[in-house]
Structure 1
């Protein structure tokens, strides 16, 4: 929630604060409306509600939002925030709350950093954030991405590993509670700079030597995420946008309609011949843009082997849209897809085993049968980065066509690291009008292949750079393990059962 207007303040505005020679100073800043441009915390509680309890918990938060607003403005900020905390977290496992705070919220927080507050905050040597939000909800982002040394926030009451929806004494940190928390943290010492944005921040600001207010209007353009100390490369969660109460309600109402639409789109992929998929998808609102000139199909009569399409990896549907763009069926090799995704796939999928010799022999055999698609990143990445390319593919053929894949989703992400991966295609097709852009690049020249004297790693790195430059993405050395350690706290693999040969992974 947030104040509509800031009443005349006894403090100067933050743009009057000098950021020169602040290396030895301590800054204490509020979060919503101060370090963040947005003055309402509802969007972040909406993500928490949806990711920990699904659509029903989000609906409960939406229904209680008017009550929270009335309490916030007419009774107290504390009461309004307490309602949001209860609606979004009551009964949720603490482990799930921490996972959402670590894997989902940083992307949205990082997109909303206030430029003037950040100028001062980042210039100071010691940084403290004092917020009414639950500490467990904001600490991961503030410490990892903006370099906060200390985060003081509202503490939740936990019972048997679950949040009760209640808060520990002294309650929600607003007004004098914030000032008391600051005194408890710093003792008799007074921090050099205090930054707030509303009247209830005045008590803690008066404990600081210099006090500055962030005005509510005009709302500034947020700091670019690439200008923060650490970029958000990986993030999880199904919701694409930050949700206002109205947009959250619209999303909830759309879900049953979107699910039926997704089933229809998936059925079209299964029932229509590949040559008709392009028109079928477009008729159902799926936009496909094809750039470049795709190569003709391989001719088995002349003994010509198939082309290996090396693709950037955005969702599990990359090979499907590649096949649709070609107008002919191809085979895709994957490290792991769910059984449901295999059943619903309109193209043939073959699982790799992660045994290098076995996988190499399998890929050679499949290439002898026809064209093949592979995503050497091994997992998807949502942001404008390419993960490290595995070099195995470069050793197996010289007929390589790089393909740059892009997609656009307006409501739901079609990938997940923590959730049920079988639902990934459904969530992608639940978007009102999802889009794929498939760009075919020129076939790799012979002198740039292993046959031309290049090592497999040189070939893989060259293709990564080529696709990255086409998409205006950045190359990284991050791998599948890095992604899953960041988002799910594991390396992305599942121990195989003794009687199963394939080593299945958690998915892309």
Structure 2
């Protein structure tokens, strides 16, 4: 906050360049360049897109070749501008680095404002004259004078930002813990809330872990966690008469999905998961089993679990924050005809309860640190036998049908993206979890 205050004083009372230099130093000094690039790729696009002026975008998107000049560090904006806005060239402030870390200082000619923007444009275009120049402050006049036509975009808070569906590439995957853009006021409120929120999260997690499952629903409501149940859930399987368990097919929003499914049913439902953390293992209130990603091994394990009773699975294999469903793995459809789709959606106002780049052990804490987190669990009709593999459908047809049914219920869009696509976009890897020594406990959570 001190850096922000100093930056504001310098920005408005000394120079725009001085204020930006302070902000760059306070934000980036000592950080690994690879971490800055990772944040620029995985976190910032969501916030940048929420500030995209609709009229500016209308003009910008109509141009054949698009060049962006910005005072921001190029490394922090280039990924968004090129990947999501279709920019061909990005000219920004260049940061100084040493042994793979940012020093916090900028390289010559300094912050790209005023005359420096004009010089950068001349160097990039040579004698060619750009057709249109868009600026939003008086210091943009020098570079706009080099364009055939120049326009100032007035600051109008009432102008709605461009919706992500209007972008050349929709923002499906993003990372980071903050739900809202960290404006000074939002950042202050978030910092003040963290101690209170952490204590509240511990209470909520303790209630979910220690209380009998029929009481968890009421405990959550008493502690500010809203659970909405829609549809008619099926009764538990009767092992005494040889009934096999029902397989609940859930959309995947956080690692807590099976917990809230169990809360809605009033009984613990075992779940199969993939990645794990030791902390999640300790606090898990339901029995969960880790998938091996070996098809034969996983199929045998799931069949055995269904013989014991009901089971929950999230066939997307990983979470997605936006209104999209990832591709459903079709293995589950081959193992049983007792399939109940469950549309799961949640709401968070301050912190995201998922991460691709961070430690997943903190996911439940961040979710429950929200002032009033909410989950909505909608039980859909059990799949008719004629739509199952027994009825002649292939496993892929069954999986795709359930994906479409859940998407229609949530007003989401189906995609063919997978866990591998998500982790390549956000973390630069394929999302493979390194096998660790198997734990003796049977309570393991993952996402």
Verify same fold: TM over 0.5. yes
Classify the secondary structure of the residue corresponding to 1:333. strand
Structure 1 stretches of 4+ moved >2 Å:
494-497, 499-502, 505-508
Tell me whether 290-299 or 183-192 shows the greater mean CA deviation: 183-192
How many residues were matched structurally? Answer: 444
Residue 114 of structure 2 is aligned to residue 148 of structure 1: no
Residue 383 of structure 2 is aligned to residue 448 of structure 1: no
Note the residue ranges of structure 1 that are not aligned, 5 or more in a row. Answer: 1-61
Residue 202 of structure 2 is aligned to residue 249 of structure 1: no
Q: What are the equivalent positions in structure 2 for 1:464-503 lying under 5 Å apart? A: 464-496=403-435
- 1:129 equivalent in structure 2: 68
> Matched residues in 2 for 1:433 and 1:226: separation?
28
> Matched residues in 2 for 1:146 and 1:352: separation?
38
> Matched residues in 2 for 1:261 and 1:255: separation?
10
Select the residue among 222, 240, 247 that pairs with 1:283.
Answer: 222
Q: Deviations over 1:372-418 (max 9, x none)?
A: 00000000000000000000000111011000000000010000000
Classify the secondary structure of the residue corresponding to 2:66. strand
- 2:197 equivalent in structure 1: 258
> Matched residues in 1 for 2:391 and 2:293: separation?
27
Select the residue among 307, 320, 323 that pairs with 1:368.
Answer: 307
Residue 107 of structure 2 is aligned to residue 168 of structure 1: yes
Residue 58 of structure 2 is aligned to residue 98 of structure 1: no
8 Å Cα contact 1:262/1:430 also seen in 2: yes
- The alpha carbon displacement at 1:486 in A equals 0.4
- 1:15 equivalent in structure 2: none
Classify the secondary structure of the residue corresponding to 2:130. coil
> Matched residues in 1 for 2:367 and 2:118: separation?
46
- 2:51 equivalent in structure 1: 112
Select the residue among 333, 338, 355 that pairs with 1:399.
Answer: 338
8 Å Cα contact 1:134/1:155 also seen in 2: yes
Residue 279 of structure 2 is aligned to residue 340 of structure 1: yes
8 Å Cα contact 1:494/1:506 also seen in 2: no
8 Å Cα contact 2:173/2:321 also seen in 1: yes
Note the residue ranges of structure 2 that are not aligned, 5 or more in a row. Answer: none
Select the residue among 232, 254, 265 that pairs with 2:171.
Answer: 232
- 1:26 equivalent in structure 2: none
- The alpha carbon displacement at 1:496 in A equals 3.1
Residue 128 of structure 2 is aligned to residue 189 of structure 1: yes
Select the residue among 277, 295, 300 that pairs with 2:239.
Answer: 300
8 Å Cα contact 1:379/1:507 also seen in 2: no
8 Å Cα contact 1:342/1:349 also seen in 2: no
- The alpha carbon displacement at 1:186 in A equals 1.1
- 2:350 equivalent in structure 1: 411
- 2:292 equivalent in structure 1: 353
Classify the secondary structure of the residue corresponding to 1:406. strand
- 1:214 equivalent in structure 2: 153
Q: Deviations over 1:407-464 (max 9, x none)?
A: 0000100000000111001100011110000000000001001111111100000000
Computed over aligned residues only, the root mean square deviation of the Cα atoms, in angstroms, reads 1.5
Tell me whether 169-178 or 311-320 shows the greater mean CA deviation: 169-178
- The alpha carbon displacement at 1:339 in A equals 2.0
- The alpha carbon displacement at 1:500 in A equals 6.1
- The alpha carbon displacement at 1:146 in A equals 0.4
> Matched residues in 1 for 2:376 and 2:10: separation?
47
- The alpha carbon displacement at 1:250 in A equals 1.0
TM-score by length of 1: 0.86
- The alpha carbon displacement at 1:156 in A equals 0.3
Q: Deviations over 1:451-507 (max 9, x none)?
A: 11111100000000000000000000000000000000000013436x7699xx995
Classify the secondary structure of the residue corresponding to 2:186. helix
- 1:383 equivalent in structure 2: 322
- The alpha carbon displacement at 1:277 in A equals 0.3
Residue 398 of structure 2 is aligned to residue 459 of structure 1: yes
TM-score by length of 2: 0.97
